[in-house]
Every structure is written in structure tokens, then in C-alpha cells.
Amino acid sequence: MKKYINLAIKIVVCILVALNLTSCFGSHELNKLAIVVGVGLDKGKQDDYPIEMTVQVANASGIKDMSKSKDNESRNTGYLNLREKGKSISDATKAFNRKLNRHLFFSHNQVVIFGKDMAGEGIEKYMDFFLRYRETRILTWILISKQPASEILNAKPELEATPGRNIGELIKNQQEVSQVPAVNLKDFSSKLISKTTSPIAPIVEISNDNNKKIVYLSKTAVFKKGKMVGSLNEKESRGLLWCTNKMKDGIVSVDTSNKDSNSKVSIATTHTSSKIIPQIKDGKVSIQIKIKQEGDLQEQLSSEDLSNSKSFSILEKREEDTIKKEIMLALKKSKKLNADIFGFGDAIYQHYPKQWSKIEKNWEETFQNIPVNINVNAKIRRTGRITKSIMSRDN
């Protein structure tokens, strides 16, 4: 009997091993794929086709860009841009089959760019495709373009092989220099779902430099109920980053003298943390923002001796004032747009879920009048490899 049991076990093991050796179900061969590295969506020119979709396909398998150069010879590039119109994103995606004998593969897509015209009318309904389609990564970057999205994807990069990858790397770099926020599909969608928090996204533009088109990130787009309602400039964007704990390696420029505006020092941020703390007292709501910042003295444009503790204390106080001013600018703009970009509403709900039901009914009015107390604690830790400026006469 034992002999038959051992035989049965061996047969079962062999069957299980054989099942693991089968091929992958639903796999695609690389030479049958068109690898998408960038997607642009613009407002359609026809009412029947409200979407104009641009897909940027990587030249991974010999796909050629057949546009003509000055000498009328065809040239190869690292990408191919295709455009189609449709009633929906799915409709436009299927229409690409008329132009490309490959399956569009979105798993390597870097960016989704919405044209400003489309953003003004509302992009909420167009997000469903990217959230639902299983090949789309939730970490794909979301951007708004001042020019048509198709033009952004057509600006040839200097260092990267494709514009889509170039923009993706540009956003990653912005995460380090902290001038505009980096927003992915997950972040943008979670704020769209929120009843109070307004989504944001970086604005991408094209500038002409010696007849070359250069792509850069300029401002921050602000949305409300899925529609773009305004934007934040660089200082306002930095104020938002300070509050939402997104500031990493930003530079704070501080005046060292009240008399000479050219006497400045640059302080490089090495560490920062921020908290938004809501408070409800006697039925009145208030917000407290606490920010801790540490930095190193990176550059000095004056001859003053800043290597003593007294000078450090003065610089730290002025740095705190500079950070606070940027936050106040962002707060002022958010109230002007009546858009809760800081997430005050969600913070109140998390801390006071029972009281939130009463506040939620008149949240827009409450947001306009909510008092905000900003507390900034800045510290300068190091002066770099030198202590005094080379312009100092006391050296």
C-alpha cells in the first residue's frame, strides 16, 4: 500500500512541475509591440471627435521616422509620433491600428500630458482609462502643457533618446531642486477623489533658445472639480511644497543686509519636515503649519563675516521669514482660487471625523475664512569648506 502512495505522490509532483513549464499566458513578443514612452491629449477640433491623442513610440525595433531632413533624405530618430482623433481615449487607441501594425504597449510610458484647453474643460473623465487599463503604471507622470501636448512631444531633446523620457527625467530632477511639484497618476487621482483637496500638476512649456525648442517646467496648475482654475508661480509653488512636505534640496536666498539688496547668501536645504495640524476650539476651526528646516551655507555675495553665532541667528531668522512669505503667497493664491491645495479639509477629517460632517456642508466658506498660523524653525548647520568670504578684509 505504501508503495502505491509513493507512486501517486511522484505522479502528482511530475504533473505540477510540467504545469510550471508551460508558456506565459497572454504574452506578447517584443517585435509585435509598439512601446509607448509618451502620451499627449489635446482638445479635438470636431465635436464628434473631442479628443486628439498623440502617442510617442520608442524606436526599439527599427521603426523609422520618415520625415525629411534638409537634404530630403529620410532620417532615423529614437521615436515616432503618431496622432489620432477619437470619441474617447479607447476609441483613439484603437484607431492607431490603421497606422501601426503593432500592439500599443503602455507599461513603459513616462508621461501623460494634457493640453491646457482640455484641462480647462475638465480631465476627470479622461483619467478613467489610465486608471482602469492594466498596462498603465500608476507612477506615470501627469503634466499640463501651455502649448498643445503634441508640440511638447515633438520637441527633440539633446541628451535623451525620446522627448517622453526627457520630460520624465526632467520631473525627477525637479523633485530634487524643488521648484514645482512632481505629480504622478496615483497622487493626482487620489486628490480627484477627495471631496475637498484640489489636485495640482506641473505645467510644461516650450521656449526657443537659439532656434531650438527647449522643454521646461514653469508653473503649477490648480484644479477644482476636475477643471483647471488657475496656476501658481514659482514662489507660490515653493510655498506649497514647504507645507506639503515635498521640499527636498531647494535653495533659500536671504539678504544679509537691510541696506544693500545685493548682499545675499544662498542656503541649500539638507533636511525639512512639515506638519499640518488642524484645531477645533469652541466650534471654530484653525490650522497650524509647523516646518523644520536645516541647511548649509552654499554661497555668499557679500564681504560680511558670517562665521559667528550671532550672524547665524540673524540669517536663520531671515530665512524663516523668507519661507513664511512663500507659504503666505501660496495660501493667498489658494484662497483667491477657492481651491484647497494644501489638503486642510482632509486633515480636519482625519483628526476630527465626528465634527467634520458639520464643517463639510459649508467647507468652501470655511476655507476662505480659516485662520492659519505658520511656525518655521530654520537652522544653518554648516558653512562649507570655508568659514569667511574671500571678499572679507579680515582674512
Closest CA to 307 of 256, 250, 253: 256
Q: Is the pLDDT of residue 286 over 60?
A: yes
The arithmetic mean of pLDDT across residues 180-197, rounded, is 93
Q: What grid cell was written down for 74?
A: 529620410
Name the pLDDT band for 75 (thresholds 50, 70, 90).
very low
SS3 assignment for the chain: CHHHHHHHHHHHHHHHHHHHCCCCCCCCCHHHEEEEEEEEEEEEEECCEEEEEEEEEECCCCCCCCCECCCCCECCCCEEEEEEEECCHHHHHHHHHHCCCCEEECCCCCEEEEEHHHHHHCCHHHHHHHHHCCCCCCCCEEEEECCCHHHHCCCCCCCCCCHHHHHHHHHHHHHHHCCCCCCEHHHHHHHHHCCCECCEEEEEEEEEECCEEEEEEEEEEEEECCEEEEEECHHHHHHHHHHCCCCCCCEEEEECCCCCCCCEEEEEEEEEEEEEEEEEECCEEEEEEEEEEEEEEEEECCCCCCCCHHHHHHHHHHHHHHHHHHHHHHHHHHHHHCCECCCHHHHHHHHCHHHHHHHHCCHHHHHHHCCEEEEEEEEEEECCCCCCCCCCCCC
Q: Which pLDDT score, from 0 to 100, does residue 258 have?
A: 61
Query: Structure pTM?
Result: 0.85
Select the more confidently predicted residue: 262 or 192.
192
Domains in the chain and their CATH numbers?
30-67+75-232 (no CATH), 233-387 (3.30.300.210)
Q: Alpha-carbon distance 317 to 314, whole Å?
A: 5
Q: Which pLDDT score, from 0 to 100, does residue 87 have?
A: 93
Q: pLDDT (tens digit, 9 = 90+) per residue, 343-386?
A: 999 999 999 999 998 899 899 999 999 999 999 999 998 888 88
Name the pLDDT band for 395 (thresholds 50, 70, 90).
low
Q: Is the pLDDT of residue 195 over 80?
A: yes
Lowest average pLDDT, out of 72-76, 107-111, 251-255, goes to 72-76
Angle formed by the axes of helices 353-360 and 344-351, nearest 10° = 140
Q: Which pLDDT score, from 0 to 100, does residue 331 have?
A: 96
Q: Which pLDDT score, from 0 to 100, does residue 4 have?
A: 64
Q: Which pLDDT score, from 0 to 100, does residue 55 have?
A: 95
Q: Is the pLDDT of residue 67 over 60?
A: no
Q: Alpha-carbon distance 50 to 87, whole Å?
A: 6
Q: What grid cell was written down for 221?
A: 496648475
Residue 357 backbone phi and psi in degrees, to 5: -60, -30
Q: Which pLDDT score, from 0 to 100, does residue 259 have?
A: 60
Q: Is the pLDDT of residue 198 over 60?
A: yes
With a pLDDT cut of 70, the percent of the chain lying above it is 87
Q: Is the pLDDT of residue 336 over 80?
A: yes
The arithmetic mean of pLDDT across residues 181-204, rounded, is 94
The arithmetic mean of pLDDT across residues 257-276, rounded, is 83
Name the pLDDT band for 219 (thresholds 50, 70, 90).
very high
Q: Is the pLDDT of residue 262 over 90?
A: no
Q: Alpha-carbon distance 105 to 96, whole Å?
A: 12
The arithmetic mean of pLDDT across residues 223-231, rounded, is 94
With a pLDDT cut of 90, the percent of the chain lying above it is 57
Select the more confidently predicted residue: 144 or 69.
144
Q: Is the pLDDT of residue 69 over 70?
A: no
Lowest average pLDDT, out of 18-27, 46-55, 67-76, 172-181, goes to 67-76
Q: Is the pLDDT of residue 242 over 50?
A: yes
Name the pLDDT band for 3 (thresholds 50, 70, 90).
low
The arithmetic mean of pLDDT across residues 125-142, rounded, is 92
Lowest average pLDDT, out of 62-71, 338-347, 364-373, goes to 62-71
Q: Which pLDDT score, from 0 to 100, does residue 241 have?
A: 95
The arithmetic mean of pLDDT across residues 233-252, rounded, is 92
Q: Which pLDDT score, from 0 to 100, does residue 22 have?
A: 58
Q: pLDDT (tens digit, 9 = 90+) per residue, 142-153?
A: 999 999 999 999
